[in-house]
Amino acid sequence: MTRFPGGPSQSPGFLLWHTTMRWQRVMTAALAPLDLTHAQFVLLACAWWLGERADPPRQSQVGAQAGTDPKMTSDVVARLEGKGLLRRAPDPADARAKFVLVTPAGAALAARGIEVVEAADASFFADVDAPALGVTLSALARISD
C-alpha cells in the first residue's frame, strides 16, 4: 500500500500537506482583521517589496515573485486595485504589460500585514529550528533570494 511501514503519517508529502493546511488556517485568521486574503497579502507585499527596491514592477514580475499563475495574479491584483491598495498603469514599452503601483494605503497595509504574518509565523514555527527548516523548504521550493 505505502512504502512507509507506519502508514501515511510517516510520509513527508502527507505531513507537508497537513502542515500547509494548518499554516494556511493560521495565516487566514491572522489576516482576517486586515480584510485581506492570504493571496491578496502575498501579492500586495510582493508588489510593495519589488517597488521599494527598483522601478515599479510589471504585473508579471509580481506574479513571478509570489509564485502565482498569470490568471490568479490578474484576478487578485484587480481586487486589490478595487480596494484602492494599488493601481495598474500601462507600460509604454509593451502594450500588453502593466506596471503595478502600490498606493500609500496599500504600502501601509503591506507593512502592517508583514508584521502580522511574521508574528503568526514566529508563533507557528516556535517549536522548530526555523533556519534549518527554511533551508530545507527553499531546497524543496527551488527558490532563493
H or E segment to which residue 22 belongs? helix 12-31
The pLDDT assigned to 74 comes to 97
Tell me if 77 sits within 8 A of 62, measured CB to CB. Answer: yes
The pLDDT assigned to 2 comes to 78
Radius of gyration of the chain (CA): 18
DSSP letter, residue 98: E
pLDDT tens, the chain, 145 aa long: 778 888 888 888 899 999 999 999 999 999 999 999 999 999 999 999 999 988 899 999 999 999 999 999 999 999 999 999 999 999 999 989 999 999 999 999 999 999 999 999 999 999 999 899 989 988 888 865 4
Burial class (CB in 10 A: 0-12, 13-18, 19+), 93: exposed
